[in-house]
A and B are shown apart, each in its own frame.
Chain A
Amino acid sequence: MRLRLRVNGEAREAEDVWEGESLLYVLRERLELPGSKNACEQGECGSCSVYLDGSLVCSCLVLAGQAEGREVVTVEGISEGDGLHPVQEAFVEAGAVQCGFCTPGFVVATHDLLRRVPEPGDAEVREALAGNLCRCTGYEKILAAVRLAARRMAK
């Protein structure tokens, strides 16, 4: 089937989409947006997190056809122009990026948290990021990055 949707503000189309295909597959393999990562394909790791009509979701659990006509924002779309978003900058500066595989998911989840709760407490940060797995940072630097981003964005 043919799929039409808006991704990062642009109208996009994908041809020959299989009816059982995930939105994640469409983004990565058909629309050449490899920012969202494919790891667990069962909603456990959060590395494919995107916004679907403004709601944070695992794109591996969205059936491609469900995104027809919808608005998708990926990690490629959260900053304006070529610069980094303050959340992305904070991740780099705090050393929260190691192998980088989980980073796009954490960045989108953090972005979602900070637009809902500009000054989150530690418990809120942990609850908001609970759907994202990282196997190298030990999480402390990720928590530091979220706090740094929150401080900067609050200004």
Chain B
Amino acid sequence: MEFIQPTSWREALEAKAALPGAVPIRGGTDVMVELNFARSRPQAILDLSRVEELEEWGIEDGLLRVGAGVNYTRIVEEIGDRLPGLAMASRTVGSPQIRNRGTVGGNLGTASPAGDALPPLYASDAEVEVASMDGSRRVPVADFISGPKQNALSDNELISAFYIANADGPQQYSKIGTRNAMVIAVCAFALALHPEQRKVGTCVGSAGPTPIRVEGAEDFIGGVLEEGDLWQSRGAIPDAALRRFGELVAGAARPIDDVRGTAEYRRHSAGVLARRTLGWAWEEYRGVRGAA
């Protein structure tokens, strides 16, 4: 096994081009489990923990650009106020030890359907920036994640960053597990209100081969809000509409039975999480909740 430790992004891309089989590692919270249990023996490991460019975040083209190496602790502490949905999701990742190492870049690379950071990215139309020696490209997150543990990275590419808009309205994230910490989600749901675009962003996690954006539910609730002029009046969403929103989300989930939960339970919980998070976010938008 070869161990490659670049100290700049350019060196990292050169190494990946020269050795396309090299497995990138940064926080190590996924890669090391594979190594410790001898589940994988890659020809080379590419350590990205010295690449300072990956640790940076800032505003570019009016969007937040967050380096793939920014860990969950920093997401919560440094940009949690701009991205409340992603911050809530980040706080549910593992433990302090795991959040001090794990990164959104790693979540994107691993592409688990249960990746905690993924649903908030979908709900806010985030884009993934990937790069190679040939240049860089930006891919909408829903196109980037292509299946269970599969993504759109080519052999010579590495994930450099993700782009996401500052929250323009209340956001929520809710996750079901068998306890409060250190669990892989049985089901999760992210919701983002986008008052400027008069849109509601959604995404179910851990209830399908990839996280699933539920456009049918977004369109339905968008219609209810337009029809009642609720964005403007900040009136309450009728209970029947909240319930229907939940049903549409449950109907769009594509869960399986596995060790963590049954498909039936996941489908049901997706609907409950959707209804509740929309209720919470809308109350906050109305100033009823979270305004203090």
**Within 8 Å of chain A (Cβ to Cβ): is B94?**
yes
Is the CB–CB distance between B94 and A131 below 8 Å?
Answer: yes
Interface digits, B182-195 against A, CB 8 Å rule (1 contact, 0 not)? 10000000000000
Q: Given A20-B45, A62-B28, do A42 and B94 touch, yes or no (CB 8 Å)?
A: no
B232 on the A face (CB < 8 A): no
Asked whether A66 lies within 8 Å of B97 as measured between CB atoms, the reply is no
**Does A57 lie within 8 Å of B97, measured CB to CB?**
yes
> Are the C-beta atoms of A63 and B181 separated by less than 8 Å?
no
A101 to chain B, nearest CB (A): 17
- CB pair A1–B3 under 8 Å, yes or no, is yes
What 0/1 pattern do residues 30 to 52 of B give for CB contact below 8 A with A? 01110111000100010101000
Would you list which residues of chain B between 134 and 187 have a CB under 8 Å from chain A? 180-182
Q: Is B258 an interface residue (CB 8 A)?
A: no
A44 at the interface (CB under 8 A from B): yes
Asked if A131 and B96 make an inter-chain contact with CB atoms under 8 angstroms apart, the answer reads yes
Whether B182 pairs with A130 at a CB distance below 8 angstroms is: yes
Which residues of A (29-66) have their CB < 8 Å from a CB of B? 41-44, 46, 49, 55-58, 60-63, 65-66
Q: Are B29 and A61 in contact (CB-based, < 8 A)?
A: yes
Among A46, A66, A131, which residue has its beta carbon within 8 angstroms of that of B49?
A66
Establish whether residues A65 and B47, one from each chain, have CB atoms under 8 Å apart when the complex forms. Answer: yes
In the complex the two chains form, what is the Cα distance from A5 to B45 in whole Å? 20
Proximity string of chain A (101-114) to chain B, C-beta cutoff 8 Å, 1 when within and 0 when not: 00000000100100
Decide: A56 near B29, CB < 8 A? Known: A66-B49, A131-B181, A131-B182: no
A interface bracket (residues with beta carbon within 8 Å of B)? 20 to 34
- Which of B25, B33, B36, B45 neighbours the largest number of chain A CB atoms within 10 Å of its CB? B36
CA distance A126 to B41 in the complex (A): 36
CA gap between A42 and B184 in the complex, in Å: 13
- As a 0/1 sequence over residues 75 to 92 of chain B, the CB contacts with chain A under 8 angstroms (1 = contact) are 000000000000000000
Interchain CB contact under 8 A, A19 and B182:
no
From B1, B3, B98, A58 is in contact (CB under 8 Å) with B98
Q: Cβ of A22 and Cβ of B97 under 8 Å apart?
A: no
For the complex, give the distance between the alpha carbons of A56 and B25 in Å: 18
Q: How far is the CA of A72 from the CA of B267 in the complex (A)?
A: 45
B-side interface size class: 20 to 34
A105 to B95, CA, bound (A): 13
- List of B residues within 8 angstroms of A139 by Cβ: none
A58-B49 in contact (CB<8A): no
A82 at the interface (CB under 8 A from B): no
Q: In the complex, are the beta carbons of B3 and A19 less than 8 A apart? A: yes
Closest A residue, CB atoms, query B33: A42
Q: How far is the CB of A140 from chain B (nearest CB, A)?
A: 17
Establish whether residues B101 and A130, one from each chain, have CB atoms under 8 Å apart when the complex forms: no
Q: How far is the CA of A64 from the CA of B2 in the complex (A)?
A: 13
B109 at the interface (CB under 8 A from A): no
A132: chain B residues within 8 A (beta carbon)? 95
CB B54 to nearest CB in A, in angstroms, measures 14
Which chain B residues lie closer than 8 Å to A127 at the CB level?
Answer: 96, 181
The answer, yes or no, to whether B100 is at the interface (CB within 8 Å) is yes
Do residues B182 and A44 form an inter-chain contact, with CB atoms below 8 A?
Answer: yes
Q: Is A68 an interface residue (CB 8 A)?
A: yes
Q: Which residues of B contact A131 (CB under 8 A)?
A: 94-98, 181-182
Q: Contact at A22–B32, with CB atoms within 8 Å? A: yes
Q: Which of A44, A60, A68, A128 contacts B96 (CB 8 A)?
A: A128
Residue of B nearest to A112 (CB): B96
B27 within 8 A of A: yes
Residues of A within 8 Å of B5, CB to CB, are 65, 68
For B2, the closest partner residue in chain A by CB is: A19
In contact, A130 and B180 (Cβ under 8 angstroms): yes
Contacts of A68 in B (CB 8 A): 5
Task: List 7 A-B pairs, Cβ < 8 Å.
Answer: A55-B100, A62-B32, A62-B101, A68-B5, A130-B95, A130-B181, A131-B96
**Closest CB pairs A-B (n = 9):** A131-B95, A130-B181, A19-B3, A41-B36, A19-B1, A61-B32, A42-B33, A131-B97, A61-B28
